[in-house]
Structure 1
Amino acid sequence: MRDPVVAEGVEPAQLAPYATGIGAMLPEMIGRFAQQIAAGEFPGDRSTVASSRSSIDGLAHLSTSLRRADGSDPR
């Protein structure tokens, strides 16, 4: 199977800065969610686990429906 990023005409070096930026947000989000869970407080004033999951689900659906990408194994 051809890499979906390359199949879309995007070279890995072009994607890397965006992927790195997304990954860089995760530690802050995980720490914030952990504090909220421990405190029993879920303000939802920024992002919530549900909204994050919803965004990821939407992107996965879009990529599979528009480009017939196989999203079954997110390695």
Structure 2
Amino acid sequence: MQIREMTISQLGRKLNLARTSISRYVEDLVSELVIIKAAKNGPEIYYRINPTYLHRAKFLINEYLDKLIVE
């Protein structure tokens, strides 16, 4: 699996959202450990999804779907 790091500007272009809209949420996601600051190159900061968070989310989704199937 390739881990992709993106700047706020790159993420905005990918999601077709304004950079200012995204930057409001990025710091919240960083504080919640959903994403992490991966690198800094000049003025740009690169972020990526925290793999621990992603694994936990996957586990919870699978657990939820398993319960849904049993019911």
Q: TM-score, normalised by structure 2?
A: 0.34
Greater helix share, structure number: 1
Task: Considering Cα pairs closer than 8 Å and 6+ residues apart, tell me whether 1 or 2 has the greater RCO.
Answer: 2
Greater strand share, structure number: 2
Q: TM-score, normalised by structure 1?
A: 0.32
